Structure 1
Amino acid sequence: MAAKAKNSIPQFTWSTAEPAPLVLVTGAESFLADRATQRIRESLRAVDASLEVSDIDASSYTPGQLLTLASPSLFGEPRLIRVSDVEKCNDEFLLEMLDYVASPDRDTTVVLRHNGGVRGKKLLDTLRAGTGGAVEVVCAELKSDNDKYDFAAQEFRHAGRNISPSALRSLVQAFSGSGSELANACQQLIADAQGEITDRTVEDYYGGRVEATAFKVVDNAVAGRLGDSLVILRHALQTGADPVPIVATFAAKLRLMAKLFGERRNAGELAGALGAAPWQIDRARKDLQGWTETGLGNAIEVIAETDANVKGASRDPIYSLERMVNVVARYGRR
């Protein structure tokens, strides 16, 4: 369980969500909210397979709907009520939900999904004040590669599937721009792939996507493979890749390498200080082979110039990109 926020109810992440009489699910990542709700449903079913599951749309709520679904059944089955669009709720829902929160049914779990905004604020404030035994699940946006890596690893772990570390890295790199696309890619591999998921598996399913990523361009460039890097770069651009995130990937990679230059502490000690996963630190250390401090400085300067050029400072951003790749592939020699 995560630390409590500035309210009096417990807070959880999507991966640690637990049932409670009232569960408020907030945050920008809808696919994480879906995972949290799924986790709650599975927890309830593990206790009693007769769980009844119902859905309510708060934006089109009809009076009496909540009380009807939450009323004790003839055989006493537990109930899960999933409420969507609470941020768009109508007045009828708000009034009846506030009444229900004051005395929730002990055999019913109500999951309320709120995507943000001011609508329903009175309900949120009431829940966060601790009324009705509520808890909150915060589904914050997956911003860093480390966040995405942890999410993908959890997806395969939860499904009981094995995936090699390098295959997992390739998958995350291929879908680093979209958490929801990464989630869908994980689920496709879980559903369709047989046995352990390896580099070859990821290549077979998402080869074109993997090969055309900025990560492949930068990995080949920092290793001095100019020809391979340029081929992948041109293919990426031809298939619609945006130059701006490509430059950003180069910048992140070279800055991490620069921070590690001459650093003797192990990856575990540095992970928190540098905001990078241990595997990223280990990889960056391997990439430093052949580089000098001067070369790293030159490369970072060229990357900064390229960043300005692809954002409008030059009429030929493609030339700037290829020049950047040339400099990096020559270990910073201009």
Structure 2
Amino acid sequence: MADVAWHSVDLAPVVLVHGTEPLIAARALERLKALARERDPEVAIHEIGGESAVAGALAQVTSPSLFGEGRFVLVPDLQSAPESLVNEVSSYIQSPEDDVTLVLVHRGGNRGKKLLDALKKAGVQRVAADPLKRAGDKQTFVTAEFTRAGRRIQPDAAAALVDAFGTDLSELAAISRQLIEDTTPEGGQQAAPVTLEHVRGVTAGRVETTAFAVADATIAGREAEALVLLQQARLAGADPVPLVAAMASKMRGLAKVSTPGASARSLGMPEWMVKNLSRDARGWSDRSLAHALNAVAQADHEVKGAGRDPQWSVQRMIIEISRARRTR
């Protein structure tokens, strides 16, 4: 079974969309339907599910058409399909029709495992509709959302969106749509790529975004700016824990790219992220980096209950890291 990404899946006689993330599954289906209509504007779209999932349903819609139009057949809930339909699918995949695209959606679980194994053995194209956990995968999702709309977003802008809204994929998709609408010019003018400034306009006051702004200023050694941003974060209601978490994330990134032989591939990071972190890392020595990591570890310990004043712990961390960066 050949795994393909939801944003690059192509038409094939049989496609399996498999996983528990409904939004990824929906995006894969939208792409496949659009490709089917692009290939044949007269394509007939059939869905076999619920009451229509009866014996013989698949054979009826996949039989050669008198009018010669292409057919797009969707089974939206393979994991709960009746045994008769599962058996039909098992037989059909042995010799699929050339002018039919059969899309099977399995939303997880063990039911239908025998058919899943058969699909794998047959080499059917599979889209993994799994929850996105890595920041890089979420940034790819954002970029794909803009591409679907015929727009572009700069890498640092996509990263900022993920920082602010990456805990909820549906929210991330919604804010992407809002940005697309807000930045589309009237009168048919060509839209410019969405930038970090555009993102900051819609994420103002968002705790995660504020936290990473504090971290960026701190690792650059801009102590005064970082402390001002920290005060703004407090006024916006930022809790000390995510502030320290953002700093820890940045410092871990610096440590990773400072490792001899580190590359985007070995670190599992996008090229642009490694490039930016490597630029920041040039201002750090091994000694100053170790001092900063110790400061983060101490602050993390204190804001989670070991310290008397979490706000002061964060402020002290920022001062120590900023000064470590300047002294090297």
**What TM-score does the superposition give when structure 1 sets the normalisation length?**
0.79
Partner of 2:139 in structure 1? Answer: 149
> Which letter does structure 2 place at the counterpart of 1:247?
V
Partner-residue secondary structure (3-state), 1:185: helix
Partner of 2:299 in structure 1? Answer: 306
Q: 1:30 to 1:310 in 2, by over 3 A?
A: farther
Structure 2: how far apart are the matches of 1:254 and 1:311?
19
Q: Are 1:58 and 1:84, in contact at CA under 8 Å, matched by a contact in 2?
A: no
1:51 aligns with 2:43: yes
Q: How does 1:217-256 map to 2 (within 5 A)?
A: 217-223=214-220, 224=223, 225-235=225-235, 238=237, 243=241, 245-256=242-253
Once the two structures are superposed, what CA deviation does each residue of 1:47-95 show, in whole Å capped at 9, x if it has no partner?
1101122333369844444334334444232121222232233434323
Task: Return the match for 2:287 from 291, 294, 313.
Answer: 294
Partner-residue secondary structure (3-state), 1:112: strand
Once the two structures are superposed, what CA deviation does each residue of 1:146-188 show, in whole Å capped at 9, x if it has no partner?
2233332233234331333443333233223333432332233
1:125 CA displacement: 1.0
> Which letter does structure 2 place at the counterpart of 1:175?
F
Choose 87-96 or 23-32, whichever is displaced more.
Answer: 87-96
1:185 aligns with 2:175: yes
Partner-residue secondary structure (3-state), 2:116: helix
Partner of 1:172 in structure 2? Answer: 162
Q: Are 1:211 and 1:232, in contact at CA under 8 Å, matched by a contact in 2?
A: no
1:117 CA displacement: 1.6
Partner-residue secondary structure (3-state), 2:167: coil
Partner of 1:85 in structure 2? Answer: 77
> Which letter does structure 2 place at the counterpart of 1:15?
H
Partner-residue secondary structure (3-state), 1:24: strand
> Which letter does structure 2 place at the counterpart of 1:227?
L
Partner of 1:136 in structure 2? Answer: 126
1:246 CA displacement: 4.1
Aligned-pair identity in percent equals: 38
Q: 1:60 to 1:74 in 2, by over 3 A?
A: closer
Once the two structures are superposed, what CA deviation does each residue of 1:269-288 show, in whole Å capped at 9, x if it has no partner?
73223333333233334434
Structure 2: how far apart are the matches of 1:21 and 1:100?
10
1:242 CA displacement: 8.2
Partner of 1:216 in structure 2? Answer: 213
1:41 aligns with 2:38: no
> Which letter does structure 1 place at the counterpart of 2:270?
A
1:192 CA displacement: 4.3
Structure 1: how far apart are the matches of 2:273 and 2:77?
38
Structure 1: how far apart are the matches of 2:258 and 2:63?
64
Partner of 2:269 in structure 1? Answer: 276
1:98 aligns with 2:90: yes
Partner of 1:21 in structure 2? Answer: 13
Structure 1: how far apart are the matches of 2:109 and 2:57?
24
Partner-residue secondary structure (3-state), 2:298: helix
1:253 CA displacement: 1.2
> Which letter does structure 1 place at the counterpart of 2:228?
D
Q: Are 2:138 and 2:162, in contact at CA under 8 Å, matched by a contact in 1?
A: yes
Partner of 1:4 in structure 2? Answer: none
Task: Return the match for 2:102 from 98, 103, 110.
Answer: 110
Partner-residue secondary structure (3-state), 2:68: coil
Partner-residue secondary structure (3-state), 1:303: helix
Task: Return the match for 1:70 from 44, 47, 62.
Answer: 62
1:219 CA displacement: 1.2
Structure 2: how far apart are the matches of 1:35 and 1:320?
44
1:121 CA displacement: 0.4
Structure 1: how far apart are the matches of 2:63 and 2:108?
29
Partner of 2:188 in structure 1? Answer: none
Stretches of structure 2 that go unaligned for 5 or more consecutive residues are 185-190
Task: Return the match for 2:317 from 316, 321, 324.
Answer: 324
Partner of 1:3 in structure 2? Answer: none
Structure 2: how far apart are the matches of 1:113 and 1:301?
48
Q: Are 2:166 and 2:172, in contact at CA under 8 Å, matched by a contact in 1?
A: yes
Partner-residue secondary structure (3-state), 1:16: coil
Partner-residue secondary structure (3-state), 2:253: helix
Stretches of structure 1 that go unaligned for 5 or more consecutive residues are 1-8
> Which letter does structure 2 place at the counterpart of 1:302?
A
> Which letter does structure 2 place at the counterpart of 1:300?
L
1:17 CA displacement: 0.8
